[in-house]
């Protein structure tokens, strides 16, 4: 038995060494075949001799047990965020403020990785656990998933105890491969690598996380010592070099700079290299290199005064507009979309971009064949900013909206006082497909696996006609369809069955009533309690609800006045879909307070936090104003947090909200 134990320990040490050389130093000391053979041998031994189990064995890279939920973790040291600067004028202001305390300060300028911030805790040289940033005070224990990231050392060469902070990200190449697979499987494409990384790290099944091939850059020491026999380096650069020696993946694209001109030059150079990097960045981090000097400059209320994040403006590119086609949405609106000569933009290849409506096309004088400037709104949705008339050749053509719906041939109509052109045909197949996709979406009935391609497959094969027909489906009705199979069919049917208990709040939103979002749906459900009662709602009674105006009220009444709406409601109820409100009795702990929610919360989704606030008498608004009482901020909070600070509005985290509700 002692020989077995020694062989297991030897294999673990060798595999750890080879992984460190490959993932941290980009050096392959053995072939993939030899590494895989050693890995399989270790797996076999660990399975045969479970008494030698080790949570930090290299075999844990493939994932382990499935969790019910993530545990909350209170950070020993707050995981703060950085103050953002959006212009070089603001950057100069930051540097001038530092210079008042520390003239000629030396700075580190490094990429701002567009990922998810985590902390990694080591005890006596072994990875103990890791957690997300959360609200800075409380995060989630995602240790099982972090163990699957190959560039995170599970054991160190020295018995040190400390905590480091890093940014988990999905490499661009992995992101594109993942989207190619999802496209083949008919699943919705992931918006960007950052969202993909965040979703992957929060999988309850770590085997799924392992398949996503995440990576990490460690960029800071939170607490502890990186040497056993001497003090920590005073230099940020030297500290990262030491962490690299210990086996951590650290940024090499960092430089030292002194003064505004040098700092700006490096930021601009990094921006030029943005497309060539293997990972997405959304800015550059500027921080004082001397750790002792940082203490002189000090800390602000929510951010350090010795560092700032320069945020790059949305990337813009020129390309050719090859054609314009229209897409018919769930409410029948025809949205013109540009077909572009493919161009690399903000980390992905863009070949289509929204043109919004015909008025936008005319105002910007956009023509087929034009050279146009495109960007991603919020780094997610591609849009055409402008045309470049100076580059025209005379072959460009003005665009006219179609007079009939491209999906059903019905004459289109233009909404009064609006730019929208709409198909009025309630039986239009395009409207039907989009309506069912909305019905199944995350904020509505949340039917996992029912994407647009599967919906079109079901419609084309006459398996469904409307959303209610989803609840008649059986696995045997689906398994013979393309891309389904027996297991996929059963998973979809199970997801549809689970959605029956979504409740009236989600159901009203799922119906796709014009002007009615998730907040309005909850408010209507709270007032009328059952779907049947909604059919007797009047404009006057609806206008009594906060934040529902006359236009929205008329839209709701018009929807419930249609015979097809009554037929759909009856069919849903007959199928066993819950048509009653599931909202808990309303409390008054938050009465009189108006909240704005921004960023990613540690344990709750935004809609869950919003529902919790409303259930306790508070209001939730979508924008920050002087009427805002509190801003509930999570990780990667953006412009709303900036505005809250400008207006002096109190910012709280999820834990503080729970304390207000007596739940923490």
Nearest to 26 by CA among 37, 34, 18, 38: 18
Nearest to 148 by CA among 205, 67, 221, 69: 205
Helix H or strand E encompassing 72: strand 72-74
Q: What is each CA distance from 169 to 197, 205, 273, 320, 534, in whole angstroms?
A: 5, 18, 18, 32, 45
- What φ, ψ does residue 98 adopt, rounded to 5°? -65, -40
**Known catalytic residue: 112?**
yes
Q: Where are the beta strands (DSSP E) in 513-629?
A: 594-598, 619-621
Specify the DSSP class assigned to residue 60.
Answer: G
Q: Which of 6, 14, 112, 619 is flagged as catalytic?
A: 112
Is the alpha carbon torsion for 392, 396, 400, 402 positive or negative? negative
Contact of 83 with 287, CB cutoff 8 Å: no
Residues comprising the chain, all counted = 664
Nearest to 510 by CA among 441, 605, 433, 425: 441
Nearest to 562 by CA among 466, 655, 627, 473: 466
Q: How many Å separate Cα 168 from the centre of its chain?
A: 13
Helix H or strand E encompassing 220: strand 215-224
Q: Distance between CA atoms of 236 and 242, rounded to whole angstroms?
A: 10
Residue 312, CA atoms < 13 Å, CB-side half-sphere: 27
DSSP string, 451-514: -HHHHHHHHHTTS-SSGGGGGG--HHHHTTSTTTHHHHHHHHHHHHHHGGGS-HHHHHHHTT-T
Tokens of 274: 């943005």
- Residue 45's SS3 state is helix
Q: Distance between CA atoms of 299 and 431, rounded to whole angstroms?
A: 54
Tokens of 524: 């209507």
Please give the span between the terminal C-alpha atoms of the chain, in angstroms, as a whole number: 48
* Other Cβ atoms within 10 Å of 206 Cβ, number: 24
Q: Distance between CA atoms of 361 and 326, rounded to whole angstroms?
A: 13
Q: What is each CA distance from 350 to 309, 316, 360, 375, 382, in whole angstroms?
A: 27, 12, 20, 9, 7
Which residues are known to be catalytic?
112
């Amino acid at each position: 038995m002692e020989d077995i134990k020694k062989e297991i320990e030897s294999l673990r040490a060798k595999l750890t060494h080879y992984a460190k050389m490959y993932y941290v130093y980009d050096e392959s000391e053995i072939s993939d075949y030899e590494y895989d053979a050693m890995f399989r041998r270790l797996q076999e031994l660990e399975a045969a001799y479970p008494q030698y189990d080790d949570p930090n064995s290299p075999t844990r890279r493939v994932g382990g047990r499935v969790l019910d939920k993530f545990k909350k973790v209170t950070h020993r040291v707050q995981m703060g965020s950085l103050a953002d600067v959006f212009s070089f004028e603001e950057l100069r202001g930051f540097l001038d403020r530092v210079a008042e305390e520390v003239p000629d300060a030396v700075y580190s300028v490094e990429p701002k990785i567009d990922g998810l911030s985590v902390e990694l805790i080591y005890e006596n040289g072994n990875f103990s656990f890791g957690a997300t940033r959360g609200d800075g005070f409380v995060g989630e224990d995602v240790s099982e998933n972090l163990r699957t990231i190959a560039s995170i050392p599970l054991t160190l060469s020295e018995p040190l105890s400390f905590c480091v902070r890093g940014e988990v990200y999905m490499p661009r190449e992995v992101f594109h491969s993942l989207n190619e697979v999802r496209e083949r499987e008919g699943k919705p494409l992931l918006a960007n690598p950052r969202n993909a990384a965040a979703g992957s790290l929060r999988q309850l099944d770590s085997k799924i996380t392992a398949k996503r091939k995440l990576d990490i850059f460690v960029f800071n020491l939170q607490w502890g010592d990186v040497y056993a026999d001497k003090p920590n380096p005073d230099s940020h650069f030297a500290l990262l070099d030491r962490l690299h020696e210990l086996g951590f993946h650290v940024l090499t694209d960092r430089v030292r700079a002194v003064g505004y001109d040098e700092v700006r030059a490096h930021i601009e150079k990094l921006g030029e290299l943005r497309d060539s990097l293997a990972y997405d960045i959304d800015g550059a981090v500027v921080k004082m290199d001397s750790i002792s000097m940082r203490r002189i400059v000090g800390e602000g209320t929510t951010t350090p005064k010795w560092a700032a994040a320069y945020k790059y403006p949305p990337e813009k590119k020129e390309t050719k507009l090859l054609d314009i086609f229209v897409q018919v949405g769930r409410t029948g609106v025809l949205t013109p979309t540009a077909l572009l000569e493919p161009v690399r933009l903000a980390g992905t290849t863009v070949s289509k971009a929204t043109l919004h409506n015909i008025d936008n096309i005319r105002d910007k004088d956009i023509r087929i064949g034009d050279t146009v400037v495109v960007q991603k709104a919020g780094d997610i949705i591609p849009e055409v900013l402008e045309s470049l008339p100076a580059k025209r050749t005379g072959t460009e053509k003005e665009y006219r909206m179609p007079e009939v719906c491209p999906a059903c041939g019905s004459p289109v109509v233009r909404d009064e006082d609006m730019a929208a052109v709409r198909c009025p045909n309630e039986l239009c197949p395009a409207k039907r497909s989009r309506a069912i996709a909305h019905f199944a979406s995350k904020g509505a009935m949340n039917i996992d696996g029912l994407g647009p391609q599967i919906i079109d497959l079901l419609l084309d094969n006459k398996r469904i006609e409307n959303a209610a027909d989803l609840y008649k489906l059986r696995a045997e009705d689906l398994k013979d369809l393309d891309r389904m199979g027996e297991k996929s069919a059963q998973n979809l049917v199970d997801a549809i069955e689970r959605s029956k208990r979504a409740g009236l709040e989600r159901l009203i939103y799922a119906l796709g009533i014009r002007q009615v979002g998730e907040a309005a749906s909850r408010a209507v459900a709270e007032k009328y309690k059952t779907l049947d009662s909604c059919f007797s709602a009047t404009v006057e009674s609806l206008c009594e609800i906060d934040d529902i105006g006359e236009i929205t009220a008329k839209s709701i009444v018009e929807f419930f006045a249609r015979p097809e709406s009554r037929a759909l409601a009856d069919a849903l109820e007959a199928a066993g879909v819950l048509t009653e409100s599931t909202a808990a009795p309303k409390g008054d702990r938050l009465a009189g307070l108006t909240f704005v929610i921004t960023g990613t919360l540690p344990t709750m989704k935004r809609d869950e936090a919003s529902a919790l606030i409303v259930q306790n008498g508070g209001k939730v608004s979508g924008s920050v104003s002087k009427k805002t009482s509190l801003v509930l901020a999570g990780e990667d909070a953006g412009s709303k947090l900036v505005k809250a600070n400008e207006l002096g509005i109190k910012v709280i985290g999820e834990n503080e909200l729970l304390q207000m509700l007596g739940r923490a």
